[in-house]
Amino acid sequence: MLIGKVTGNIASTIKHPVYEAQKLLTVDILTPSRIPTGESVVAIDSVDAGVGDLVLVTQEGRSAMAIVGKTEVPVRTAIVAIIDKIEIPPS
Protein backbone atom coordinates (compact mmCIF):
# COMPACT_ATOMS: atom_id res chain seq x y z
CA MET A 1 0.00 0.00 0.00
CA LEU A 2 1.08 3.54 -0.63
CA ILE A 3 0.50 6.99 0.83
CA GLY A 4 -1.04 9.53 -1.52
CA LYS A 5 -2.62 12.96 -1.79
CA VAL A 6 -5.83 13.47 -3.77
CA THR A 7 -5.23 16.09 -6.46
CA GLY A 8 -8.30 16.05 -8.69
CA ASN A 9 -11.00 14.02 -10.39
CA ILE A 10 -11.75 12.52 -13.76
CA ALA A 11 -14.92 12.92 -15.85
CA SER A 12 -15.72 10.24 -18.40
CA THR A 13 -18.86 9.65 -20.49
CA ILE A 14 -17.77 6.69 -22.59
CA LYS A 15 -16.68 3.94 -20.22
CA HIS A 16 -17.01 0.28 -19.50
CA PRO A 17 -20.46 -0.29 -17.87
CA VAL A 18 -19.01 -1.55 -14.57
CA TYR A 19 -17.51 1.91 -13.96
CA GLU A 20 -20.88 3.72 -14.13
CA ALA A 21 -21.32 4.49 -10.44
CA GLN A 22 -17.66 4.87 -9.48
CA LYS A 23 -15.93 8.12 -8.44
CA LEU A 24 -12.46 8.36 -10.02
CA LEU A 25 -9.79 10.50 -8.31
CA THR A 26 -6.24 11.42 -9.34
CA VAL A 27 -3.72 10.78 -6.56
CA ASP A 28 -0.06 11.81 -6.24
CA ILE A 29 2.01 9.16 -4.44
CA LEU A 30 4.07 10.47 -1.49
CA THR A 31 6.84 9.09 0.74
CA PRO A 32 6.01 8.67 4.49
CA SER A 33 7.69 12.10 4.90
CA ARG A 34 5.04 13.40 2.47
CA ILE A 35 7.47 14.15 -0.37
CA PRO A 36 5.97 13.45 -3.84
CA THR A 37 7.63 10.44 -5.54
CA GLY A 38 6.65 11.73 -8.98
CA GLU A 39 4.25 8.80 -9.49
CA SER A 40 0.50 9.44 -9.97
CA VAL A 41 -2.41 7.02 -10.20
CA VAL A 42 -6.14 7.07 -10.81
CA ALA A 43 -8.03 5.45 -7.91
CA ILE A 44 -11.60 4.50 -7.12
CA ASP A 45 -12.77 6.08 -3.87
CA SER A 46 -14.24 3.94 -1.05
CA VAL A 47 -14.12 6.43 1.85
CA ASP A 48 -15.54 9.67 0.39
CA ALA A 49 -12.14 11.33 0.06
CA GLY A 50 -11.74 14.80 -1.43
CA VAL A 51 -9.08 16.96 -3.08
CA GLY A 52 -6.23 17.66 -0.64
CA ASP A 53 -6.86 14.59 1.57
CA LEU A 54 -3.91 12.42 2.61
CA VAL A 55 -5.00 8.85 1.78
CA LEU A 56 -3.96 5.20 1.82
CA VAL A 57 -4.02 3.60 -1.62
CA THR A 58 -4.06 -0.14 -2.39
CA GLN A 59 -3.00 -1.40 -5.81
CA GLU A 60 -4.24 -4.95 -5.82
CA GLY A 61 -7.11 -5.88 -8.10
CA ARG A 62 -8.66 -8.51 -5.93
CA SER A 63 -8.60 -6.15 -2.94
CA ALA A 64 -9.85 -3.18 -4.85
CA MET A 65 -12.71 -5.24 -6.20
CA ALA A 66 -13.66 -6.38 -2.70
CA ILE A 67 -13.75 -2.75 -1.60
CA VAL A 68 -16.20 -1.55 -4.21
CA GLY A 69 -18.34 -4.54 -3.30
CA LYS A 70 -18.45 -6.31 -6.63
CA THR A 71 -15.81 -8.74 -7.77
CA GLU A 72 -16.65 -8.14 -11.42
CA VAL A 73 -15.63 -4.47 -11.30
CA PRO A 74 -12.31 -4.19 -13.12
CA VAL A 75 -10.39 -1.99 -10.73
CA ARG A 76 -6.86 -2.31 -9.50
CA THR A 77 -6.36 0.90 -7.52
CA ALA A 78 -8.57 2.07 -4.64
CA ILE A 79 -8.47 4.59 -1.79
CA VAL A 80 -9.07 2.61 1.42
CA ALA A 81 -8.45 5.15 4.22
CA ILE A 82 -8.05 8.83 4.98
CA ILE A 83 -4.81 9.26 6.96
CA ASP A 84 -4.96 11.40 10.13
CA LYS A 85 -1.32 11.21 11.12
CA ILE A 86 1.95 9.59 10.04
CA GLU A 87 4.25 9.11 13.07
CA ILE A 88 7.92 8.69 12.18
CA PRO A 89 10.01 8.76 15.39
CA PRO A 90 13.54 10.19 14.93
CA SER A 91 15.99 7.31 14.30
Sign of torsion, CA 17 46 77 12?
positive
Where does this chain bind a copy of itself (CB under 8 A)? 1-3, 7-16, 18-19, 24, 26, 28, 31-32, 40-44, 46-48, 51-52, 56, 58-67, 72-78, 80-89, 91
Reported as type and span, the H/E element at residue 64 is helix 61-67
Q: How far is the CB of 24 from a copy of itself (least distance, A)?
A: 7
Q: How far is the CB of 21 from a copy of itself (least distance, A)?
A: 13
Closest by Cα among 71, 64, 68 to 2? 64
